[in-house]
């Protein structure tokens, strides 16, 4: 499997998907399975900006946050690393182009019903709502779904799976 990722010059694994799909938690487990490093892009943004995501969104607005996220993701340099992006990374074409150049982009697909069950606090979680705070979870899901599909090299459905089972499913799909 290492050879397959390295052959294409893409030895990183980039996780994209909705908030609550498990990118960060699954990413840690996947990195252990694959013997890779791990980067949580949300934590990287928080560290570089010295603010929580929600405070950054409150201060900069959705568009300002997307610009910050784009810059941070466009500057990521890594090898043999699982990179868990924020759910809004797909709003940044430049960042997604860079990530696709350095790794395989895996979309952790989750149904709306599963997402609704997992995310009861999405408006307090540091989620970028381009449509404003009145935007519903359904609106957010419908807006982002085509973007995730557009950027994905691989789609893995994680509905009804434990984090470990989902991480194994991703690892197997990359073989």
pLDDT value of residue 125 = 55
Helix/strand/coil for 78: coil
Largest CA distance in the chain: 47
DSSP 83: E
Higher pLDDT, 41 or 132: 41
Q: Where are the domains of the chain?
A: 2-173
Per cent of the chain over pLDDT 90 is 71
Considering only CA atoms, which of 113, 77, 99 is closest in space to residue 148?
Answer: 99
Radius of gyration of the chain (CA): 15
Strand order of the sheet with strand 81-84? 37-40, 81-84, 12-16, 103-109, 154-157
CA 82 to mean position of chain CA atoms:
10
CATH number of the 2-173 domain? 3.40.50.300
Host H or E run for residue 104: strand 103-109
Q: What is the pLDDT of residues 65-117, one digit of tens each?
A: 999 999 999 999 999 999 999 989 999 999 999 999 999 999 999 999 998 88
> Does the pLDDT of residue 4 top 50, yes or no?
no
On whether the CB atoms of residues 13 and 103 are closer than 8 A, the answer is: yes
User: How far apart are alpha carbons 99 and 93 in whole angstroms?
Assistant: 10
């Amino acid at each position: 499997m290492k050879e397959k990722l390295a052959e294409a010059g893409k030895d990183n694994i980039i996780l994209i998907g909705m908030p609550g799909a498990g990118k960060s938690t699954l990413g840690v487990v996947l990195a252990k399975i694959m013997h890779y490093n791990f980067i949580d892009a949300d934590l990287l943004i928080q560290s570089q900006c010295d603010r929580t995501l929600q405070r950054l969104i409150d201060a900069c607005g959705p568009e300002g946050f997307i610009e910050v996220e784009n810059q941070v993701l466009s500057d990521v340099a890594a090898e043999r690393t699982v990179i868990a992006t924020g759910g809004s990374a797909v709003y940044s074409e430049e960042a997604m182009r860079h990530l696709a150049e350095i790794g395989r982009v895996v979309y952790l697909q989750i149904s709306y019903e599963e997402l609704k069950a997992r995310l009861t606090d999405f408006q307090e979680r540091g989620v970028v709502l381009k449509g404003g705070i009145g935007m519903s979870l359904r609106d957010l899901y419908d807006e982002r779904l085509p973007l995730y599909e557009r950027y994905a090299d691989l789609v893995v459905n994680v509905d009804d799976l434990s984090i470990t089972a989902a991480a194994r499913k991703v690892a197997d799909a990359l073989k």
